[in-house]
Every structure is written in structure tokens, then in C-alpha cells.
Amino acid sequence: MTPDQMRDASLLELFSLEADAQTQVLSAGLLALERNPTQADQLEACMRAAHSLKGAARIVGVDAGVSVAHVMEDCLVSAQEGRLYLQPEHIDALLQGTDLLMRVATPGNTVGPADIEAYVALMERLLAPSQLTAKVAPPPAAPAPVVEALPPEPEPAPPVSSEPPRQNKRMTEGGERVLRVTAERLNSLLDLSSKSLVETQRLKPYLASLQRLKRIQSNSVRALDNLDGQLKTLGLGLEAQEALSDTRRLLSEAQALLAEKTAELDEFGWQAGQRAQVLYDTALACRMRPFADVLAGQVRMVRDLGRSLGKQVRLEIEGEKTQVDRDVLEKLEAPLTHLLRNAVDHGIEMPDQRVLAGKPAEGLIRLRASHQAGLLVLELSDDGNGVDLERLRGTIVDRHLSPVETALRLSEEELLTFLFLPGFSLRDKVTEVSGRGVGLDAVQHMVRQLRGAVVLEQTAGQGSRFHLEVPLTLSVVRSLVVEVGEEAYAFSLAHIERMCDLAPDDIVQLEGRQHFWHEGRHVGLVAASQLLQRPPGQNSQETLKVVVIRERDAVYGIAVERFIGERTLVVLPLDDRLGKVQDISAGALLDDGSVVLIVDVEDMLRSVDKLLNTGRLERIARRSQQATEAPRKRVLVVDDSLTVRELQRKLLLNRGYEVAVAVDGMDGWNALRSEDFDLLITDIDMPRMDGIELVTLLRRDTRLQSLPVMVVSYKDREEDRRRGLDAGADYYLAKASFHDDALLDAVVELIGGARA
């Protein structure tokens, strides 16, 4: 804390913060000691935590905290000195004291003197001389159910958290200074950094305009030189020659100034973009927390639940350091609690049953977290009995969820989906843990709110496995941006099964509805313009652009006008005053600063069902090749790499352009002089004539000097970009940027669509 914050914060608030950190140390350490009661490092860590809390409670005058921490410290010191061997009842009592200390330290909680006296009396009975053992004592005959936890650091500190704390607190962790800040401030920082990143992208089209202006001015100088040569043949007077000379001088000065300022702005834009990206990445990293942050309470919950049910359970955790967005982590706590309780109660058998089945008496639950393709992947498995499929089949029939004939034909995957239905339970009676029908349906709902998915797999007699996939962060979403009614919309890639181009003959009519064949089934076809209430766009392409979206078993093809490309979008929530906007979940900004709306896929599928049920689904006109088509624009691709030539040629052909290729600069120059093109795309490093020479020659030719030019190069250094633009290119693109339709977007910016 800063000195000002120290003056403003009360000692009780500081004590509460310290108790929060030290009780985490105690919980983790005691769970580790339950498995191995003689671990010296854990005994030391727990003893020091209790000792610190006792001292802090004495300073702030919380006598209840002093009493509880004192008897806990006595117990741990006895264990350290070998006078006491920690039994399960000691661990139970110490964990009870840990909970009591947290209640004492939390403002608003009331702990009566009777509670404190009862706890102290309990600990004194456990520490009576008759209870003390020899320094080396044998372990208990029947080991208590345990869970594994990572050993805490000797002097741990709370993790970097964006949860709103009662006060900011600066401390050290692993040698680094750590500052706790409010979630609102982190959200504001991320919002500002994302807007800064978007704003720097708006410089690109402005710079492209300046480059075109520079080219126009160069053409003006050449035109003036031609005019000067023609007028000299007419024998102009001295005054006219001086006026022409002054014009040429002023134009040259303006050209030099424009070139200088364009270069400066280009360099500024480049550096600003790099800084904005680093700022955004840093701000986003501040929101990330280790997955272990959500596990502290879960480890204790599994331990306590297993003991209450008379089961021996061990929890193994992998990937505790996996980084996850704070918001995602908070929303994962509830579904994880459901699944872990489900595994202990439904999955793990009683010890005697496990022994009879040839298994260890102790059940094993594994929880693994990892990053895969921009997602957080969680796998929670147990080695229990699995789901009794025949019992499940019978329950489905008994509850009239399916006829007997149909139920008998259901596959294992289809049967397991019934477990996610609201109110569905295999338990015949309600207990404190199970049978209320609130479980897997709630898990599925909460995971879907995170734009994720959950799948259950099981092997009878060998256990179950839940596979969860959720985004690493809710702040950004990887999306496909499309055009509908001349507006941009984004579909989260998590909901997209595929993208495809449908020919008119691919669309069939079934029962009055349009369908197409996809993965062995007919998929319904719906116009995005009708769903989003946009006017149908004027699309003369031979094929129909379709996004295939899936949510559970519902699959539909959504017809759009154009695929703009994949983008990583910074999610901007809609104004609360708008309420729920139909079929839309949020907004975002594209690189050019324009707004894109992010589609709520679940809501859109509900809209499709509503249109189907009311019979208002409109047909999509099947396009056919028009008798008289506008001529296609021609592009010349010059590159000495066969692979690059073919890649660019296919990209452009698929977008509808006519494409010619040349193997080097000389071949390209000959093609330019003999044929007409709308755009030149050239590499720089080529034999016989490089790209810079080619562009320079082109700009000197009166017939070709206005032809748009794009330079595409492996080199992405600032000096290379400037060299290409100074030679007269209108656009410079690194070959590493071919993804996300960057090449096609640049072509459209320079010459428009494929048709003239």
C-alpha cells in the first residue's frame, strides 16, 4: 500500500486481507499434511501462518482470533517437535479453526464467544497429554480420504487478482512486486488499450491515400515536363518560360515535402501500431489469472464431501498455472463445483465396492487444464463406476421421454445427452448432495454462457470423463466477419462448423424448405438478411456464400453476401439501455474503425425455429449465371516462386478476378506492355529485373503510370516498406499476412470487386 492508503485503511481491513491470504496457506498445507503428516515444509508453513494470524489479531484487538490461532499454533508446534502425530481428527479440527479464523476476520460475520470456547475446548482435548504420541508414530491403520494439493510457498501472497478488494495492497511474490487493483480499473484499461489499437489501424487507409496523392503528383511533374518540351517547340517568350520554370520548382518542392511527411507518418503509424499492440497485450495479460485460483475451495470441498459420504477420494490436478481470464475463471467455479460433486457422489464407489471390483479402495478424480487453439480445455475424469446405460434407458422410458422402441435404438452418445435435460436425475430419492435434478443441465447452461461446450464420455465400470472447452477470455473473440445487407456481422468461430460456396444446383427443395447436403444429411438454408432484418444485397456471384452454424443438434446454413475474413475482435458490450437486441450479443470495431455486430448464435437459432413454426421463412433466390455479365477485372501476378504465384492466383480466381502470371520482373514488364490489366501484384526480389525496377519503369510509362500496384514481399521491415512505396507502389503487404483474406481485402481497396 501507499502511505496515503495506509492512513486511509483501517487495521481491521488490513487484518481481513492478511487472513484471506494466510487461511489459503493453512487450507492447502493441511490438506497436504493429511496425506503425509510429517512433511516438515508444510508443518512450518502452517505454523507460521497461524503464528502470523495470532500476532495480527492481537494487534487489532480481535481476541477471538488470538484464541483460535493460539491453539492451532500449539497443535502444529507439537507436530513439528514430534510430540504429536497428526491424525485425521487433528486435521479436521485445524481445518475447522481455519474456517473460524476467516469468519472472525470477515467484516459483518458474527462469531459468538460460545463458538470460540467450544473450539478451544476441542483443541485442548486433542492436545491432552494422553493424546500425544511418540516422536515416530505409525500411520493410522485405515488411511483417511485425502486430496492432493500443491505445497504452498513458505511465505505466499494472494495472487494477482482483478476482483474488487477492500483495499489495494502491494506485496512481493516470487521477487516481483504485486499490486491488487479493482476489476473496473482493469476493464477500463483494457477498453482504452483496445480502442488505441483500433485507432492506429485507421492510419492505414489514410497512408494509402497519401501514397496515391504522391503518385498523382509524380504524374503531374512528368506531365509538366512533357508540356514544357512541347511548348519549347512553339518558341515561347522569356516570361512564359520563367512561369513554367516557377511552376516546376513549386511542384518539386511540394513533392519533396509530401514525400518527407508521408515517410514520417508511415514510420509513426508503424511504431504506434507496435506500441498499441504491446499495450493491449499487456492489459489483457493483467486480466489473466492462474487456473489454480479457482481450485482452493474445490480441493477442500472434495475432501469434505468424500469424508461425509464415507468414501476415500484423491483429487489430482494438472495445469494449475494455465492462464485464464478473470471473468471466465469466476464463471467456471459453479460448473466445476457441480461436476466435482457429481464425480464424488455419483462416480466414485464405496471403498468395499471398489475392492470387490478389483480397484484400489481410494477413488481417483483427475482435473486437467490446458490451452488448445485459443481455448481453455478442461478434462475432469474419475475411475468410478461410470453411467449404467441400461438403468438410464429405463429411466428415460419411465419418465415418458422416449417410447420403448426408440429408447432401445438409442446409441450411448444419444443416451448420455438425456443427463443434460433440466430436472433429469438417476437418483430415486433426494439427499443433501443429489437427486434434486439440478446438476448437468445447470453445468451445460453455465458453460454455454461462456460461449463454450461440454461433452460427457464414459466407460461402464471404468469411470466418466467430462470435456469442457471455453474461451480463454471473454474480452476478445475469434470471429468470421461477413457482409449482410451491406453491413458487417461477426460469427464466433466456436459456433461455426464450416464455410462453403453453394452452386445453384446444390440447393434442393424439401417439404417446402430449402436445403443442401452437408456431411451425410440435409441442412436447412436460411437467409441472414431475413434473420437480421437487413435488405437483401445485390450479389451477382455464381455461388452462394453460406456459414454452417451448429448449437447442440441444431445445424443450419446461414446465407450471407460476402466473407470478409477471420478477425480477432475486442468485445464491446452493448449499452444496457438497449436491452436484449435480437440475435446480437455484443459489438466490436474493425481495423478501419467501422462497427461490427457480433451474432448471438443461440438467439439466432431460436429465431430460425420461430420462422419455421410460423411458416414465414423466405426462400433464397437461386442465382444462375447471367446471360450478359460485366467483364472481369484483370490482375497480373509477378513472382519467381511457383508456390506463391499459385497461391495468389487461386485466391484471386476464387474471388472472381481474371489472373495472369509472370515468372520475374522482365516477364512481367513484357506482359504489361502487351496486355491491359487493372492491377499489378509484384514481388521485390526476383532475377533479371526485381520488383523495384519493374515499378519504376511502369511509373515512367505514360500508358501505365496510373496502374495500381501492390508490392508483396517476405520482408516486413520499415525500410523495405518505404523502399517499395517510394518507388511508386500503392500498397505494401508482407507475405506472412496472406491469412485472414488480407491480400483480397487489399485488392478490393485498390480496384474494387471482380466485376467492372
Q: Which pLDDT does position 138 carry in this prediction? A: 47
pLDDT at 379: 93
* Per-residue model confidence (pLDDT) at position 142: 42
The answer to whether the CB of 28 falls within 8 A of the CB of 150 is: yes
Q: What is the average per-residue pLDDT within 720-744?
A: 75
Distance of CA 612 to the CA centre of its chain: 33
| pLDDT(187) > 50 | yes
Query: 295-471 architecture in CATH?
Result: 2-Layer Sandwich (3.30)
The mean pLDDT value for 75-95 works out to 91
User: Where do the H-state alpha helices sit in 138-237?
Assistant: 183-201, 203-232
User: Is the per-residue pLDDT at 160 higher than 70?
Assistant: no
CATH topology for 3-136 is Four Helix Bundle (Hemerythrin (Met), subunit A) (1.20.120)
388 three-class SS: coil
Calpha distance 261→263 (Å, rounded): 5
Strand residue runs (E) in 76-161? none
CA–CA separation, 20 and 140 (whole Å): 32
Q: What is the mean pLDDT of residues 689-696?
A: 90
Residue type, position 455, single letter: V
More confident residue, 708 or 591: 708
pLDDT of residue 167: 38
110: left (phi over 0), alpha (psi -120 to 50) or beta: beta
- pLDDT-derived band at 130 (thresholds 50, 70, 90) equals low
C-alpha distances (whole Å) from 648 to each of 395, 467, 500, 683 are 58, 39, 20, 11
Picking from 653, 626, 485, the residue whose alpha carbon sits closest to that of residue 542 is: 626
**Domain 478-614 bears CATH identifier 2.40.50.140:** no
Secondary structure string (H, E, C) spanning 685-720: CCCCCCHHHHHHHHHHCCCCCCCCEEEEECCCCHHH
Range from 246-260, 348-362, 690-704 carrying the lowest mean pLDDT: 246-260
pLDDT of residue 7: 39
The pLDDT of residue 261 is 84
pLDDT value of position 624: 45
Strands, E, within 388-431: which ranges?
none
Higher pLDDT, residue 643 or 142 = 643
Smallest Cα–Cα separation from 603: which of 493, 491, 524, 515? 491
pLDDT in tens, 191-233: 788 777 777 777 777 777 787 787 788 778 777 877 777 777 7
Rounded Cα distance, 259 and 104, in Å: 71
- The whole-angstrom separation of Cα 444 and Cα 454 is 6
pLDDT band at 337 (very low <50, low <70, confident <90, very high): confident
Higher pLDDT, 154 or 235: 235
Percentage of the chain beyond pLDDT 90 is: 16
Question: What value does the mean pLDDT of the chain take?
Answer: 80
Look up the CATH number of domain 634-751. 3.40.50.2300
Which of 166, 171, 186 is closest to 105 using CA atoms?
A: 166
Instruction: Provide mean pLDDT across the span 68-95.
Output: 91
Q: 586-603, pLDDT tens digit by residue?
A: 888 776 667 899 998 888
**Residues 6 or more apart whose Cβ sits within 8 Å of residue 219:** 705, 706
Task: Please say if the pLDDT value at position 304 is more than 70.
Answer: yes
Is residue 347 pLDDT above 90, yes or no?
no
Angle at 136 between CA 134 and CA 137, to 5 degrees: 75
Element (H, E) at 605: helix 601-614
Check if the beta carbon of residue 46 is closer than 8 Å to that of residue 26.
Answer: yes
Tell me how far apart the alpha carbons of residues 370 and 376 are, in angstroms, rounded to a whole number. Answer: 6
**Burial of residue 502, with CB atoms counted within 10 A of its CB: 0-12 exposed, 13-18 middle, 19 or more buried:** buried
Higher pLDDT pick, 439 / 435? 439
Distance CA 93, CA 114 (A): 16
Q: How confident is the model at residue 146 (pLDDT cuts 50, 70, 90)?
A: very low
pLDDT digits (tens, 9 = 90+) for 239-298: 777 788 888 888 888 888 888 888 888 888 888 888 888 887 788 778 788 888 877 678
pLDDT > 90? residue 613: no
Residue 625 has pLDDT above 70, yes or no: no
Q: Which amino acid is at 486?
A: E
DSSP at 520: T
